[in-house]
């Protein structure tokens, strides 16, 4: 597989965060830091994205959304949980509506701690994510798997059966 490192496209999703981490993430992407010079583009579209940046914890209403966005991303893909809420649930952990960190719903590769996560930490996390992403891209078996998860496989097969 070729060199994919020069063009990481991001999908940024805000879970139930206090927006502190979002502001930091967007700050990293502003013209001041000019992330585009590394080929980074903040797309709003999971089907075009490579790196899933998720801030805030998972609650009952956004769990399905996060899962679906993750499924809609083509492989190879990397998930970066930004901020302590996305890592573990943070201060909201014990709230009645919070399920926990992003890893309760989708497999998370990189954890960036902090409340709010500092830009240096975010950038460091993304650099790590890019390396991991390249590593994943080098494994064709992983890239061209037909289903994302066991659930998806079952759902698809059921659909086929109905037809």
Partner 1 sequence: MWMIPFLICFPLVVAVLMFAIRENKIRNIIAYLGAGTIMAVTGLFAFQWFAQGTPVLELYYHTHTIDMIMLGAVWLLMFVITYLSFKYRKHIISLLSIIPTMLITYMELFGPEMAEIAHIRVDKLSMLMCIIVGVIGSLIVIYSVGYMHGYHHLHTEYEDRRNYFFMLLFIFLGAMFGFVLSESLLWIDLFWEMTSVCSFLLIGYTRTKEAINNSFRALWMNLLGGAGVVIAIMYAGYKTGSLSFQNLITLGTEGNAAAVIPVALLAVAALTKAAQMPFSTWLMGAMVAPTPSSALLHSATMVKAGIYILFRLAPAMSGTMTGLMISFIGGFTFFAASIMAIAQTDAKKVLAFSTVSNLGLMVACAGVGTAETVWAGVFLMIFHAISKSLLFQNVGATENALHSRDIEDMHGLIFRLPKLGAFMFIGIAGMFLAPFGMLISKWSALKASVDMGNILLVLFIVYGSATTMFYWTKWMSKIISYTDTEIKVTDITKKDERLSLTVHATLMILLCLLFPILSVVYVEPLLTEMFGTAAAVLPQGVLFLLIAIVCFIFVAPIMAFRYAETSKVRQLKSYMNGINVGNNKEFIDSMGEKKHLFMTNWYFAHDIGQRKLMRPCAFVTTAFLIILLCMIIGGAL
Partner 2 sequence: MTYRVIGIVAFLILAPFLGGLLSGIDRKISARMQGRIGPSIFQPFYDVQKLLSKQFIVVNYAQIFLVVSFLATIIVTGMMFFGGSDILLCFFLLSTGATFLIFAACITNSPYSNIGASRELFQMLCYEPAVLLACIGFYLATGSFNVSDIIQADLPAIIKTPGFFVAFVFILTIKLRKSPFDLSASHHPHQELVKGITTDMGARTLALYEIAEWYEHVFLMGFVGLFFIWKNPWSYLLAVVAVLATYFLEILIDNTSARVKWHTMFKLAWGVTILVAGVNLIILMVMA
Given 19, 25, 27, 44, the residue binding partner 2 (CB under 8 A):
44
6 binds partner 2 (CB under 8 A): yes
36 binds partner 2 (CB under 8 A): yes
32 binds partner 1 (CB under 8 A): no
Kindly tell me the burial class for residue 60, based on how many C-beta atoms sit within 10 Å of its own C-beta (0-12, 13-18, 19 or more).
exposed
Kindly compute the dihedral angle of the four CA atoms of residues 59, 8, 147, 104, in this order, to the nearest 10 degrees: -20
Whole-number Å distance between alpha carbons of 95 and 150 = 30
1 binds partner 2 (CB under 8 A): yes
Q: Which of partner 1, partner 2, none has residue 37 at its interface (CB below 5 to 8 Å by kind)? A: partner 2
Whole-number Å distance between alpha carbons of 20 and 94 = 19
Total number of residues that touch partner 1 (CB under 8 A)? 20
Given 19, 65, 68, 75, the residue binding partner 2 (CB under 8 A):
75
24 binds partner 2 (CB under 8 A): no
Closest CA to 51 of 38, 62, 33, 32: 38
Binding stretches for partner 1 (CB under 8 A): 45-47, 61, 64-69, 71-72, 74, 144, 146-148, 155-156, 159
């Amino acid at each position: 597989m070729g060199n994919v490192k020069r063009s990481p496209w991001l999908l940024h999703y805000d879970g139930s965060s206090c927006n502190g981490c979002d502001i930091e993430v967007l700050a990293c992407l502003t013209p001041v830091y000019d992330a585009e010079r590394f080929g980074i583009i903040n797309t709003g579209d999971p089907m075009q994205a490579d790196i899933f940046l998720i801030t805030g914890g998972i609650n009952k209403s956004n769990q399905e959304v996060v899962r679906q966005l993750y499924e809609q991303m083509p492989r190879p893909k990397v998930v970066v949980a930004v901020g302590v809420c996305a890592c573990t649930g943070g201060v909201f952990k014990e709230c009645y509506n919070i399920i926990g960190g992003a890893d309760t719903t989708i497999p998370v590769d990189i954890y960036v701690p902090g409340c709010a996560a500092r830009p240096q930490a975010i950038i460091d996390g993304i650099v790590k994510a890019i390396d991991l992403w390249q590593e994943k891209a080098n494994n064709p078996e992983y890239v061209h798997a037909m289903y994302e998860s066991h659930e998806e496989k079952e759902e698809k097969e059921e659909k086929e059966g109905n037809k």
